[in-house]
Structure 1
Amino acid sequence: MERSAGRPYVSASCTLFNVASIRSKCENVMTCPIRPIGSGKEHCPYDWLAVYDGRDEHSPLIGKFCGLGKFPFSIIGTSQYMYVEFVTSPAGPLLNTGFHFNVGNWPGHVETAGIKHGICDWLLSSDSLKDSSASEGIFLSIAHWYPPNTSCSYHIKGRTGEIVRLYFPSLKQFKYARQSKAAEHLERAAAEMVASGSSRTEIIPQRGDQRGAQFSYSNSDDKNFFNYEYERQKRGWTCGKGEEVEGLDDNDGRGDAGTERQQSRVTKWIPAQAGAGGSLFRINRIESPILKYDGDCGESLTIYDSDHPDPARIIKTFCDTFSRPMEKVDFVSTSPSLYVQFDSKTGSYSGSSLYYWAHYDFFNNTRFGDPVPNTLCDEVMYAWKHPGGKIRSPMNSLIFKRTGGSDVRCQYKFVTDRRLYARAVIEVTSVSFKELPYNNNACTRCHEERVDKLVIWEEREKFQNNLACFCDNIPRAVRVISSADQMNLEMIVQGQHAITSYFKNPNPLFEASYEFAHGPLCGPITLGPSPDGELVFPFKKALAMAAGPMAAVPEHHYRREKCIWELKVAAQRDLWLNLEKARFGDRTCESAKIEVYLAGRLEPRFIMCPENISLARDLPILSAADLGALGTDQEPLPVLIQYTGDGQPGKNAFRLVWTELFHLPRNPDGSLASSLLQDGGCDFRCPGDTEVCIPRHLLCNGVDNCPNVTHISTMAQLTRYIEWNLEQLGLLHRADDYKQLVLHDESAEICLRQELSELPYGKLILMTLGLSLMLTLIVAILCRMCRGPGHAYHSRY
């Protein structure tokens, strides 16, 4: 005979079939031959019970049973159907023996987002998970029968640049008082909710009696925990969140004779100890083995950091005999693949002894440079491998979960070689750290406060020299230029809130771009301070480094050159720049551009390019105040001169000349303070109303050191300093001749007189006498040589 446990309460498409509690009987044990219950034809020659996994006897045979003893705990099929065949001997039963079993439905598996091969081999790809619109995937242990030596695999495969995380979530604590039939059906309803894809949930009975049942709910992220109160109503059992559980009538909540048997079927879902924490990974003894096995590791679960079962890349192995489950532990791959394999030597009638509800997800582990070994997220950008590009905060948000509460530090190091480049340039375009409502540290002192921040620094003389710090949003891009061949950018996130603020946050915490600049054609990176000087591009000594004849080199071979010079100016000096010579291959500003930046200014003060080359020859003077001098005795911050253009040698060339000017001091009433001019390097006052002067050694040096202001100044302004200049030069007696002339520092009237007055007459006289003496000796030697042979001939005859 058979006895049914009741009609099914879960959709048939998501269920498996269960046959349980079969018992053989014999009325008189003394006269009945005792044969232990067995499985197989060799044990059952007369009477037997055969169980098939399918609709008929042509389906796979699960087992053939006979004898006297305890039947397997339960048998669970792989589909909606199970075929049971009872055969007796033609002579009939001798003692009217038989069997008794119950038949019921069992919740099926969650629909896994992947491709199934064979019975239990899965390919769980990132693309399949994305197509299902889920952020995480789930796969469960085998919940049905399987033969001995079964091997099931789960190949979790991500896209290029991704890594895989696998973990077994843990449930919150709950208490279990008594399980009723209603509790069992509610649990089955929960399994159907999961299988239908509503959410990653599992409902565990907390309290079940005739009045109602209370269940606990936990999602896979283990962040939310709710209690569901189920109260019996006339229309059925309803969930506290408004979800109706179908199929529960008024009689389902009462305990009956079948309650004990129903409870035995769901003991897998309930911890053995009241009040213990629920787990989605449990290791039990093998309850219904097909083949007896007395050794260790009859069933095992192995995780490989590979795309195949590689013994050299085992992360963890769990065995049914000695392993302990690991809950809320992340198993992370180092490549796009993770391989999980379940092996069973014994087989099972009712599912695996290793019960696991595994979650997996993928993280983008794309790097922008070379990863630093044994670090969380450090990278190095070498100029010869990564000459430029964009960077951002790590795309792998898993780093915010793997620090164990310590601060998250990601350092990006930019390294170059002076033979290639002399500078690194970083431009930070956005900073988006989250504001914490209970954080007392405000972003006022970025370097000192314990806040999330972005720090840019360089090592100078074995000390950290901070260049910039950002802990709040920036309104516009900020560019930072190194003074050497290395620079570091470091992101620091406080560990106490890293998980809650940034784990699985797709938005970047910062974005920046970088490049390496100032190649060999640019020459030295620092110029000045000096009264005058010149900046020549390309650097003549570096032209020899250009390989091969220029005509034979392809046009695309040469990169776009960027040069950044620092021009230092002495204290209390103005600066005048003059683009004296320039030759550009094209007539557009895209081919060549010279920009001059002052300290603290984001926009360039001057822009010189082929389109405005005529205006570039009359640049205004930059005063000491414009240069940002902080004190009378301190040098102002350097002036940055940047050239961007074609790097092909000979295509673009220019000569930029600078002069440090002394600004004429004034008294409070506006008159010239002559007393301050002594020992001040003011020997020649430039014409016009510029109020600047230059020292004597800059006169007649071949460079126009005085600004050309003839087109904006009157004749009176241009000639008002002539007498003073002539007096300083010792040419005051020529003042009447030069009253109507504009005398510049390179005027021929000054330079000619100065050269004549400085001629070394004494040296000239000595040189003349020396030359005369040498000439006399040469003539005497020649005469002696010419007379010698003829005089000897006449003497002989």
Structure 2
Amino acid sequence: MLFLLRSEYFFFFQEHPFNTGSCDECWEGRLDKLVVWEPGSTNSTKPPSNGLTGGHCLCKNTNVLSFTKSKPVAKIVSSTESLFLELLVDGAHAASSYFKHPAPLFEATYEFVHSPLCGPAVIPASTEGELHFPHLEALGYTEPPRSIRCIWEIRVNRERDVWLHFDKVKFTTRECQDGRLEVYLPSRPDHPFLSICGHNVSSKDMPPLTSLDLTPSIGTGFLPQPSVKIQFIGTTTPARAAFKIAWTELYHLPRNPDGTLMTSKLTEGGATSSPDGGGDCEFLCPGESGLCIPAALVCNGVVNCPAVGGRYNESLETGDEAPEVCHARTAEEDYNWLMIGLGAGGGALLAVASLLLVCR
């Protein structure tokens, strides 16, 4: 289970000399504050002293004026099963500011999300991957819920683009209120980048997400792992819904000063000239985008190159699963095996001839 915490509307922190500062000084200053953190991220149950480990410090002036009743001051989704909150007030003004007033200092709601039917909540970065719902291993020991909310975090290696494609999506009804899939980006966490319901399930193709899309737009000093968050909300027999989400990390070829692609970065035989030395740019995807993938992902039965025209079926005809590409790779592999066989046969004949000469 994960926690979904909302700090509602505004804080009821009172005015005193230390509460007039900006929340930029929230961690170090003597402001009255609410600190939220995950002990699994900091490896400690003690509150963090800064935001470098992903903690949150909320005070009276946390952009309150930009929020409405439909938009909480903070919305925090944990990535583990524990979420700690600590309220800190300045002792010199606590009695006069709060203990004689019945109003709460802050209001928040929480709910448990991500049941076992959702599977792992955090998926580590990898060159490719798949996400299946429902999580088949959980069907044997958990009772199907009446409603469900799954939140997955798909992490991506730094300086990589990622392409998501949806397959075998099935909802129980055509209504969005009964079931929907939403994709959220760190660069715009408050609004879904893509929303899929029963009525638009056929319109599920999406462009590659760039490394900038996967980076938070607000600098907090904490640089989290690039990621994509996918949320599934089902309110009507969610266990009957089913879908598969596949993704591929893409390397982006740089361009020469004249605007042409720097194809010298393309590699062969697993060597690469990319800075991390990962052998990740061996097949150039169609189009002018300069996206490429490792050779191991070519003709592996899964479309890994985004379609030039934005349609999934076009990748089957022109991309890494194109018949001519796979035929050429098969012919090359057959030729290599033939050469290996001839070499082995020649070596065996030479060994027999040498043995006969020695015996004579």
TM range (shorter): 0.7 to 0.9
Deviation at 1:506, TM superposition (A): 4.0
Residues 595 and 607, structure 1, Cα contact 8 Å, conserved in 2 = yes
Q: Deviations over 1:325-354 (max 9, x none)?
A: xxxxxxxxxxxxxxxxxxxxxxxxxxxxxx
1:614 corresponds in structure 2 to 202
| In 2, Cα distance between equivalents of 1:528 and 1:458 | 18
1:567 corresponds in structure 2 to 154
Helix, strand or coil for the counterpart of 2:250? strand
1:660 corresponds in structure 2 to 249
Q: CA-atom RMSD, angstroms?
A: 3.0
1:529 partner amino acid: A
Query: Please, which of 735, 747, 753 is the counterpart of residue 328 of structure 2?
Result: 753
Helix, strand or coil for the counterpart of 1:593? strand
1:699 partner amino acid: V
Deviation at 1:563, TM superposition (A): 1.2
Deviation at 1:684, TM superposition (A): 2.0
For the structure 1 residues 518 and 763, does the alpha-carbon distance in structure 2 shift closer, same or farther, using more than 3 Å as the test? Answer: farther
Query: Please, which of 75, 84, 107 is the counterpart of residue 479 of structure 1?
Result: 75
Residues 583 and 653, structure 1, Cα contact 8 Å, conserved in 2 = yes
| In 1, Cα distance between equivalents of 2:109 and 2:36 | 13
Query: Please, which of 105, 120, 136 is the counterpart of residue 524 of structure 1?
Result: 120
1:682 corresponds in structure 2 to 281
Matched, 1:431 2:18: no
Helix, strand or coil for the counterpart of 2:56? strand
Q: Deviations over 1:201-234 (max 9, x none)?
A: xxxxxxxxxxxxxxxxxxxxxxxxxxxxxxxxxx
For the structure 1 residues 650 and 500, does the alpha-carbon distance in structure 2 shift closer, same or farther, using more than 3 Å as the test? Answer: closer
| In 2, Cα distance between equivalents of 1:650 and 1:763 | 52
Residues 441 and 450, structure 1, Cα contact 8 Å, conserved in 2 = no
Helix, strand or coil for the counterpart of 1:545? coil
| In 1, Cα distance between equivalents of 2:83 and 2:56 | 11
2:117 partner amino acid: L
For the structure 1 residues 442 and 435, does the alpha-carbon distance in structure 2 shift closer, same or farther, using more than 3 Å as the test? Answer: farther
| In 1, Cα distance between equivalents of 2:183 and 2:206 | 11
Helix, strand or coil for the counterpart of 2:306? coil
1:596 corresponds in structure 2 to 183
Query: Please, which of 301, 315, 320 is the counterpart of residue 702 of structure 1?
Result: 301
Deviation at 1:604, TM superposition (A): 2.0
Residues 597 and 606, structure 1, Cα contact 8 Å, conserved in 2 = yes
Query: Please, which of 14, 30, 33 is the counterpart of residue 450 of structure 1?
Result: 30
Query: Please, which of 252, 256, 262 is the counterpart of residue 673 of structure 1?
Result: 262
Query: Please, which of 90, 101, 104 is the counterpart of residue 505 of structure 1?
Result: 101
Deviation at 1:600, TM superposition (A): 4.7
Q: Deviations over 1:598-637 (max 9, x none)?
A: 2253222222222322221x2011111221189xxx9843
| In 1, Cα distance between equivalents of 2:250 and 2:285 | 9
| In 1, Cα distance between equivalents of 2:148 and 2:96 | 45
Helix, strand or coil for the counterpart of 2:210? coil
Residues 585 and 651, structure 1, Cα contact 8 Å, conserved in 2 = yes
2:110 corresponds in structure 1 to 514
1:641 corresponds in structure 2 to 230
**What does 1:319-358 align with in structure 2 at a 5 Å threshold?**
none
Larger-Rg structure: 1
From the two aligned structures, give the one with the greater strand fraction: 1
Residues 453 and 493, structure 1, Cα contact 8 Å, conserved in 2 = yes
Deviation at 1:572, TM superposition (A): 1.9
1:491 corresponds in structure 2 to 87
**What does 1:780-795 align with in structure 2 at a 5 Å threshold?**
none
Residues 570 and 635, structure 1, Cα contact 8 Å, conserved in 2 = no
From the two aligned structures, give the one with the greater helix fraction: 2
Structure number with the bigger relative contact order (C-alpha 8 A, sep ≥ 6) is 2
1:594 partner amino acid: L
Q: Deviations over 1:371-396 (max 9, x none)?
A: xxxxxxxxxxxxxxxxxxxxxxxxxx
| In 1, Cα distance between equivalents of 2:135 and 2:162 | 23
2:322 partner amino acid: S
Deviation at 1:528, TM superposition (A): 3.3
Query: Please, which of 554, 558, 562 is the counterpart of residue 145 of structure 2?
Result: 558
| In 2, Cα distance between equivalents of 1:600 and 1:435 | 34
Deviation at 1:507, TM superposition (A): 3.2
Deviation at 1:698, TM superposition (A): 0.9
| In 1, Cα distance between equivalents of 2:325 and 2:171 | 35
Residues 558 and 647, structure 1, Cα contact 8 Å, conserved in 2 = no
For the structure 1 residues 481 and 711, does the alpha-carbon distance in structure 2 shift closer, same or farther, using more than 3 Å as the test? Answer: closer
1:536 corresponds in structure 2 to 132
| In 1, Cα distance between equivalents of 2:101 and 2:159 | 53
Residues 571 and 635, structure 1, Cα contact 8 Å, conserved in 2 = no
Q: Deviations over 1:294-329 (max 9, x none)?
A: xxxxxxxxxxxxxxxxxxxxxxxxxxxxxxxxxxxx
Deviation at 1:440, TM superposition (A): 7.1
Residues 146 and 238, structure 2, Cα contact 8 Å, conserved in 1 = no
Residues 426 and 513, structure 1, Cα contact 8 Å, conserved in 2 = yes
Gap runs ≥5 in structure 1: 1-420, 548-556, 713-717, 720-740, 766-797
For the structure 1 residues 515 and 748, does the alpha-carbon distance in structure 2 shift closer, same or farther, using more than 3 Å as the test? Answer: same
Query: Please, which of 291, 294, 297 is the counterpart of residue 692 of structure 1?
Result: 291
| In 2, Cα distance between equivalents of 1:650 and 1:542 | 11
| In 1, Cα distance between equivalents of 2:240 and 2:198 | 13
> Could you tell me the TM-score, scaled by structure 2's length?
0.76
Helix, strand or coil for the counterpart of 2:330? helix
**What does 1:32-431 align with in structure 2 at a 5 Å threshold?**
421=1, 423-429=2-8, 430-431=10-11
Residues 130 and 246, structure 2, Cα contact 8 Å, conserved in 1 = yes
Deviation at 1:514, TM superposition (A): 0.4
| In 2, Cα distance between equivalents of 1:467 and 1:455 | 7
Matched, 1:469 2:48: no
2:353 corresponds in structure 1 to none
| In 2, Cα distance between equivalents of 1:711 and 1:640 | 22
| In 1, Cα distance between equivalents of 2:224 and 2:128 | 16
Q: How many residues align?
A: 305
For the structure 1 residues 762 and 540, does the alpha-carbon distance in structure 2 shift closer, same or farther, using more than 3 Å as the test? Answer: farther
Residues 183 and 228, structure 2, Cα contact 8 Å, conserved in 1 = yes
> Could you tell me the TM-score, scaled by structure 1's length?
0.36
1:744 corresponds in structure 2 to 319
Helix, strand or coil for the counterpart of 1:615? coil
For the structure 1 residues 684 and 441, does the alpha-carbon distance in structure 2 shift closer, same or farther, using more than 3 Å as the test? Answer: closer
1:63 corresponds in structure 2 to none
Q: Deviations over 1:559-601 (max 9, x none)?
A: 3211111111112211111112201111111122222222253
For the structure 1 residues 710 and 668, does the alpha-carbon distance in structure 2 shift closer, same or farther, using more than 3 Å as the test? Answer: same
For the structure 1 residues 439 and 619, does the alpha-carbon distance in structure 2 shift closer, same or farther, using more than 3 Å as the test? Answer: closer
Residues 114 and 149, structure 2, Cα contact 8 Å, conserved in 1 = yes
Helix, strand or coil for the counterpart of 2:25? coil
1:743 partner amino acid: T
Helix, strand or coil for the counterpart of 1:435? coil
For the structure 1 residues 532 and 438, does the alpha-carbon distance in structure 2 shift closer, same or farther, using more than 3 Å as the test? Answer: closer
| In 1, Cα distance between equivalents of 2:84 and 2:45 | 13
Residues 584 and 653, structure 1, Cα contact 8 Å, conserved in 2 = yes
2:302 partner amino acid: V
| In 1, Cα distance between equivalents of 2:157 and 2:18 | 49
Q: Deviations over 1:143-200 (max 9, x none)?
A: xxxxxxxxxxxxxxxxxxxxxxxxxxxxxxxxxxxxxxxxxxxxxxxxxxxxxxxxxx
Percent sequence identity is 41
| In 2, Cα distance between equivalents of 1:569 and 1:579 | 18
Deviation at 1:499, TM superposition (A): 2.8
Residues 646 and 652, structure 1, Cα contact 8 Å, conserved in 2 = no
1:195 corresponds in structure 2 to none
Helix, strand or coil for the counterpart of 1:758? helix
